[in-house]
Structure 1
Amino acid sequence: MEQLMVSIICTSYNYEKYIAQALQSFVNQKTNFDYEIIVVDDCSTDNSRSIIEAFRTNFPDKVRVFLNNENKGITKTWISICQEARGKYIARCDADDYWIDKFKLQKQVDLLESHPNSKWCNTNFNIVDEENHVIAEQVFTNGPIKFADTYEKLLATKGMTLPSSWLVESDLMRVVNSEIPDRSIDDTFAIQAELFQRTDLSYLDEVTVAYRMTGNSDSRPKSSKAMERRINGLLETQQYYINKYTNRDMKKMVEIQAEHDAWQELRIFHFNEHIKHLTNRISELEKQLQEVVIISGDQINQLKEQNRVINEKYNSVINSRRWIIPTKIIDFFRRNS
């Protein structure tokens, strides 16, 4: 039996709002080769499983589903599910992201097949919010996230290669998975560090993926404790790899870190300036609003006074003797007409 070219692997945990869009983007791929879609649910407590099962029912020859009986976490789940891949390559996409180029897989397979020294490639991407509104375009070109296209950049900046854009040779991915700690706070950081030791990264400078930034995700949790745990966990991983591969260019890494720190300071400075501008603008608008309220209050009081004066004049006219007599005459004629 001829080997499948690609196994798409999608890991999901409580992503009922997004997973259908991700799965549909996989089904929409146009290729001249066969591929499979592997979906693994890490014991979700929402409606994710029924959505996944519906896709399997609609595409039984394409979709394979694996359901964890307990929540194992992303790292253990990823390491385990990669053993099920039957394709020559593994394409990763997390359930809250989705692909926006119908030829993504075809382009990446063509790229790797034409570069035998490279067993791993990625692409450019856009950032979207929870409602699919684009908030940053061509991110690796324009920012705000740094493209870590070398091992040194990865460790120095904690940048990334965007896992949801990856295409990696399956055998290599399984070797790498055997090297990463299964309790890693972020499996993708360790995977990237190991991949850089074993292959060149090929880059397709085209936007093929929508990377979703939500209010609560693995990379941006709502809980301050969870965020603190993530930051400390990534620091431990950085330190681990600094000591693991001591033959890397440490001087280059320090240079990159220095440049990154300068870039971050500039970002912070510009953010502070923008905040100052917005704060001043808010103060101006509040002052204008208060003036409007005062003016409106004065106008209302003037109108009330005008109304009082007019009412007094009206009543004085109605109750005047000159008006009472004609009124009585008019009433007399009305009664006798």
Structure 2
Amino acid sequence: MPECEHSFVEISDAQRLVVAPKVSVLMLTYNHGDYLSEAIEGVVAQNCNFDFELIIGEDASVDDTLSIALVYQLRFPKIIRVIRSLSNAGIKENGKRICSLARGEYVSFCEGDDFWCAPDKLARQVELIEGDESIGIVHSDWIKTKLIDGRWIHDFGKSVHRRVPARLLVGNLFPTWHFPKILRTCTVLLRREALSQFGESVLAKGEYRFGDSVLNAYVTSRFKVAYLPKVTAVYRVSPNSALRSGSKARVAFYRSALQFDTDARLYFSERGDYLPDYRWETAASLLLWGIRAGDIRAVMDAIADFWEHFTFIDFVRAGFRTLAMRIPTLRRQVR
């Protein structure tokens, strides 16, 4: 039974809802009234030879997000379940809640301000993951949309993965799970069993300022990754995200990332292939953003972190691997 059951209500049509969905699409939404219709339309437009459901976790928005969700629930009663918070639960609790309510064999994500642009996304990703138990997650290419002069602008000719080498997109990605251009949440489909196992892990209990990287580290440590070489999703570069709310927010984000790395090193200590590269990048980012924010304490903490966790040789090796991973993304890849 889901936790905090008293704090939400489900709005759905039990008589018409699909009985056994193969895929549960999870959509977190809060004050997304300007974008939600586009997000929902991209999901309900999926062309599949199997049933799927869309679970919208509406977290007590103060705009018209709820009313939009309810209109679509009435239009698509076989697919949509609206999980309405009676009071704001926050993104982590809202996410845990709708994950616990998923019924599909597989789970996919599309937050209320992103949207899917390929009606065959689910069908092709399920085809890739089925029949190979070693594959736990499938992702795809994607593009960004940015707010420019009051309009959201994107270019399908400028996909993110056009500059990413194939070795960073498929197979064993645990050594490079932290690479920010891969496993973008709005593109992935994974086994619900893997998501449930992650939810029960120590890593999922941490209080971090992000969740996608934590999930990526866990899943890639246990499964291979499959890849759909097609743009299927559009990620909205929100000016209010954790990484775009000013220098102080960046400093807090990277401090949280260092804490996650500390926990992850302990969690994966028996593997021997958890690389120090994520900590190198995070400490370097804390140093640079500390300088930008004029936060002397952050600068000193970053330097101290390098001193504590790296020998000179380790520092050079991690830096070299980071550059070797990033430099190829400066030019378009030939597929």
The alignment's TM-score, normalised by the length of structure 2, stands at 0.71
Instruction: Supply the distance in 2 between the matched residues of 1:42 and 1:223 (Cα, whole angstroms).
Output: 25
In structure 2, the CA distance between the partners of 1:223 and 1:16, relative to structure 1 (3 Å rule), is farther
**Residue in 2 that maps onto 1:134:** 154
Say whether 1:104 aligns with 2:147: no
Given that 1:25 and 1:102 are in contact with CA atoms closer than 8 Å, whether structure 2 keeps it comes out as: yes
**Larger Rg, first or second structure (1 or 2):** 1
Instruction: Supply the distance in 2 between the matched residues of 1:182 and 1:75 (Cα, whole angstroms).
Output: 11
Given that 2:146 and 2:152 are in contact with CA atoms closer than 8 Å, whether structure 1 keeps it comes out as: yes
What letter corresponds to residue 106 of structure 1 in structure 2? A
In structure 2, the CA distance between the partners of 1:235 and 1:147, relative to structure 1 (3 Å rule), is farther
**Residue in 2 that maps onto 1:177:** 199
> Among residues 244, 251, 262, which one is paired with 1:239 in the alignment?
262
In structure 2, the CA distance between the partners of 1:225 and 1:44, relative to structure 1 (3 Å rule), is farther
Say whether 1:38 aligns with 2:52: no
**Residue in 1 that maps onto 2:321:** 259
Q: Note the C-alpha offset of 1:55.
A: 0.9
**Residue in 2 that maps onto 1:275:** none
> Among residues 212, 217, 227, which one is paired with 1:188 in the alignment?
212
What letter corresponds to residue 71 of structure 1 in structure 2? N
Counterparts in 2 of 1:78-227, with a 5 A limit?
Answer: 78-130=95-147, 131-134=151-154, 137-142=158-163, 150-155=173-178, 157=179, 160-179=182-201, 180-181=204-205, 183-218=207-242, 220-227=243-250
Instruction: Supply the distance in 2 between the matched residues of 1:21 and 1:192 (Cα, whole angstroms).
Output: 26
Instruction: Supply the distance in 1 between the matched residues of 2:122 and 2:273 (Cα, whole angstroms).
Output: 33
Q: Note the C-alpha offset of 1:227.
A: 2.8
What SS does the aligned partner of 2:221 have? helix
What letter corresponds to residue 320 of structure 2 in structure 1? A
Give the RMSD, CA atoms, in angstroms.
2.8
Instruction: Supply the distance in 2 between the matched residues of 1:141 and 1:224 (Cα, whole angstroms).
Output: 29
Instruction: Supply the distance in 1 between the matched residues of 2:54 and 2:197 (Cα, whole angstroms).
Output: 21
Instruction: Supply the distance in 2 between the matched residues of 1:103 and 1:252 (Cα, whole angstroms).
Output: 38
**Residue in 2 that maps onto 1:9:** 26
> Among residues 247, 269, 272, which one is paired with 1:248 in the alignment?
272
The alignment's TM-score, normalised by the length of structure 1, stands at 0.71
In structure 2, the CA distance between the partners of 1:198 and 1:187, relative to structure 1 (3 Å rule), is same
Instruction: Supply the distance in 2 between the matched residues of 1:78 and 1:182 (Cα, whole angstroms).
Output: 14
Say whether 1:21 aligns with 2:43: no
What letter corresponds to residue 162 of structure 1 in structure 2? R
In structure 2, the CA distance between the partners of 1:104 and 1:256, relative to structure 1 (3 Å rule), is farther
In structure 2, the CA distance between the partners of 1:82 and 1:176, relative to structure 1 (3 Å rule), is same
Given that 2:160 and 2:181 are in contact with CA atoms closer than 8 Å, whether structure 1 keeps it comes out as: no
Unaligned runs of 5+ residues in structure 1 are: 269-337
Deviations 1:51-79 (A, max 9, x none): 11111121122110011223332222212
Instruction: Supply the distance in 2 between the matched residues of 1:48 and 1:76 (Cα, whole angstroms).
Output: 18
The share of aligned pairs that are identical, in percent, is 23
Instruction: Supply the distance in 1 between the matched residues of 2:77 and 2:325 (Cα, whole angstroms).
Output: 49
Given that 1:112 and 1:121 are in contact with CA atoms closer than 8 Å, whether structure 2 keeps it comes out as: yes
Say whether 1:58 aligns with 2:66: no
Unaligned runs of 5+ residues in structure 2 are: 1-17, 278-313, 331-335
Give the count of matched residue pairs: 265
Given that 2:164 and 2:329 are in contact with CA atoms closer than 8 Å, whether structure 1 keeps it comes out as: no
Q: Note the C-alpha offset of 1:238.
A: 2.1
Given that 1:76 and 1:182 are in contact with CA atoms closer than 8 Å, whether structure 2 keeps it comes out as: no
What letter corresponds to residue 56 of structure 1 in structure 2? Q
Q: Note the C-alpha offset of 1:2.
A: 6.4
In structure 2, the CA distance between the partners of 1:142 and 1:199, relative to structure 1 (3 Å rule), is same
Q: Note the C-alpha offset of 1:263.
A: 6.9
Deviations 1:99-143 (A, max 9, x none): 110100000011111423212111111111244422572212326
What SS does the aligned partner of 2:22 have? strand
**Residue in 2 that maps onto 1:230:** 253
What SS does the aligned partner of 2:129 have? helix
Instruction: Supply the distance in 2 between the matched residues of 1:216 and 1:41 (Cα, whole angstroms).
Output: 18
**Residue in 1 that maps onto 2:90:** 73
Instruction: Supply the distance in 1 between the matched residues of 2:99 and 2:265 (Cα, whole angstroms).
Output: 27
